[in-house]
Amino acid sequence: MLAEAIIKHNLSYSFVEYDGIRNWINYISPDVVMPCRNTEVADIRKMYIREKEKLKQELAKISNRVCLTSDCWTSSTSEGYICLTAQFVDENWRLNCKILNFCQWNIEKKVFSITLDNATANDSLQTILKGHLNLQNSLVCDGEFFHVRCSAHILNLIVQEGLKAAIDSLIAIRESVKHVRGSDGRMQKFEQCVKQVGIETNLGLRLDVVTRWNSTYLMLESALPYEKVFSSLHLHDRNYTHCPTFDQWRRAEKICEVLEPFHEITNLISGSSYPTSNLYFMQIWRIECMLKEKLNNEDKVIKDMASKMHEKFEKYWKQYSVVLAFGAILDPRMKLQFLSFCYSKLDSISTQKKISLVKNKLYELFDHYTNKQNVVSASSTIRTTPSEARRKPKGFKVFNEFKAFENETVSSNGKSELDLYLEEPKLDYEKFQDMDVFMYWKDYSKRYPELSIMARDVLSIPITTVSSESSFSIGGRVLTKYRSCIHHENVQTLVATRNWLHGFSQTDENEDVKTTFPQVDSDMLHEVLDTP
């Protein structure tokens, strides 16, 4: 329990040797002998090895594949760390996200995809890794669907490009917020102006981080209700020289309106506790529709902003990722009909061509799963000995013949599991808005045994690197400037074991403390949006 407490609350190993802690324990019970620091290091290492073995056994049991994501982090001591995170569906059809290291996991035959950001080094990494795995025939469809780009990073690049066109309004509001938050005296003056103007809101001012576009949106959202307050402050404070003009405030409102859907989409696709690959197609389509609409905006700045964003969109998302389009098809509320609708809204002429491409690739992927099952079935038949056959219960041969009859019936109809699934009417999205997609495939796993395994793999694909980024959030609390000499193996032990026992959740004492007014800028929710 002491070892688990150290892991959970990010305590130092030497915690057990603090005089105050030992005196307190001795006061409670003089018979208790507190372990030394080295004993705790050994105990935590044992827990790490035990939990690691549990996870290895769990990965060995599952019949589906594992989707990976990876990212790099530079600690406060300027040491570089790389983290590999696995996302998979367990035997109970729950989505799991676990930290791994690069060796001794025996999953090289089970890798489906890897999600990386857009750094050039990552392109080289996936090429080399794909080459090694292909030598072992480990990848599906020769690795055609192996590499997935982080959607949140691409979204960041798109929005950052658009914000360049509206820099004047942003600078005025940013400097205004920075001025107010510059000292306690200014904050008090601002509070007095709030009372004079008569604004009733508990929303505090937030200062953005230039490299995080979503923090810029939050800054605008928090500043807009205080437009009259800033004007009042300008009259009372001679040192305040950056008060935005009326036109700049109106433009800021339009910028905030443009960014709001992007903020919602980022929050949605950055989840790691629920499937996101089935959400990808709809959200990317929404982004393209919004950008095309804004291209005809009357405001020149907003029009230029949309133009720059659309140009960046075309660079990265001109062709929607095919494997992630499969996620929408394997969502029973969407299927191919939804893709047809989206494509027709963008370009009705090329709709059929795009649908045919996606459908052909989908069947190509499904063929891999059906062939795999047939190979397994055939190999198990060859290994059965006469003595084993004699031990089969009576009637076993009849059931074998019955199974063969069922297979012949399906093949004679010319319909596979995928055909039958696609022909079934899709579910009503309004009625099943909160449906757990994995539970659907769990319920239909007996009806679609091969297709359900494929669905587990496709729907497990993380479309962002948030899970790897989250592991570095844990690492940042383990390795600090006050705890900078800890060995890198111990960092891995603490971070990985913490994740295996408690996931990526933070304990209450690690959450940022917020003031009532103005609100202190907490860590932005999605550090994944840092510009590489």
pLDDT in tens, the chain (532 residues): 999 999 998 888 888 999 999 999 999 999 999 999 999 999 999 999 999 999 999 999 999 999 999 888 777 777 778 888 999 999 999 999 998 875 567 788 899 999 998 888 888 989 999 999 999 889 999 999 999 999 989 998 999 999 988 888 899 999 999 999 988 999 999 999 999 888 877 778 899 888 788 889 999 999 999 999 999 999 988 889 889 999 999 999 999 999 999 999 988 888 777 888 999 999 999 999 999 999 988 888 899 999 999 999 999 998 889 999 999 999 999 999 999 999 999 888 889 999 999 999 999 999 999 886 544 333 333 334 444 444 444 455 555 555 555 554 444 467 899 999 999 999 998 899 889 999 999 999 999 999 999 999 999 999 998 887 777 677 777 777 777 777 778 888 888 888 888 887 654 444 333 322 333 333 333 333 333 3
Q: Of 233, 221, 225, 231, give the one whose Cα is nearest residue 200.
A: 225
Radius of gyration, CA atoms only, the chain = 28
Q: What does the alpha-carbon distance between residue 114 and residue 464 come to, in Å, rounded to a whole number?
A: 10
Q: Are 3 and 31 in contact (CB under 8 A)?
A: no
pLDDT for the residue 403? 55
Asked if residues 211 and 157 have their Cβ atoms less than 8 Å apart, the reply is: no
Report yes or no: 188 and 155 within 8 Å, Cβ to Cβ: no
Residues linked to residue 149 through DSSP beta bridges, in sequence order = 116
Amino acid 385: pLDDT: 40
State the DSSP code for 338: H
Q: Is the dihedral of CA 282, 285, 289, 294 positive or negative?
A: positive
What's residue 531's pLDDT? 36
CA dihedral (399, 404, 407, 409) in degrees, to 10, reads -100
What DSSP assignment string belongs to 233-258?
HHHH-TT---PPPHHHHHHHHHHHHH
Whether 497 and 7 have beta carbons less than 8 Å apart is answered as: yes
> Which of 340, 318, 319, 344 is closest to 329 using CA atoms?
340
Integer Cα distance of 248 and 225 in angstroms: 14
Q: Cβ neighbours of residue 68 under 8 Å, at least 6 residues apart?
A: 84, 85, 86, 87, 100, 111, 113, 114, 115
Distances (CA, A) of 507 to 8, 104, 458, 504: 8, 30, 32, 10
Q: Which of 125, 127, 114 is nearest to 68 (CA)?
A: 114
Q: Which helix (H) or strand (E) holds 268?
A: helix 246-269
Give the C-alpha separation, 462 to 148, whole Å: 8
Q: What pLDDT sits at residue 434?
A: 87
**Alpha carbon of 274 to those of 65, 472, 505, 528: distances in Å?**
17, 20, 14, 17
Rounded to whole angstroms, how far apart are CA atoms 530 and 532? 6
Residue with tokens 């510059």: 182
Per DSSP, 79 falls in state: -
Residue 441's pLDDT is 95
Half-sphere CA count of 1, side-chain side, radius 13 A: 1
Phi and psi (nearest 5°) for 270?
Answer: -90, 5
Any idea how long the chain is?
532
Q: How many CB atoms lie within 10 A of CB 373?
A: 14
Residue 59 near residue 86, CB atoms below 8 Å: yes
E strands, 152-196, where? Answer: none
- The C-alpha atoms of residue 63 and residue 328 are separated, in whole angstroms, by 22
Phi, psi values for residue 291, rounded to 5°: -65, -40
Q: Which residue has the tokens 């981080």?
A: 209
User: By three-state DSSP, how is residue 276 classified?
Assistant: coil
Nearest one of 234, 175, 251, 237 to 207, comparing CA atoms: 175
Classify burial at 359, counting beta carbons within 10 Å of its beta carbon; exposed 0-12, middle 13-18, buried 19 or more.
middle
**In terms of Cα–Cα distance, which of 271, 282, 286 is closest to 333?**
282
Q: What pLDDT was estimated at residue 290?
A: 92
Distant-in-sequence, close-in-space partners of 361: CB < 8 Å, separation ≥ 6: 144, 322, 323, 326
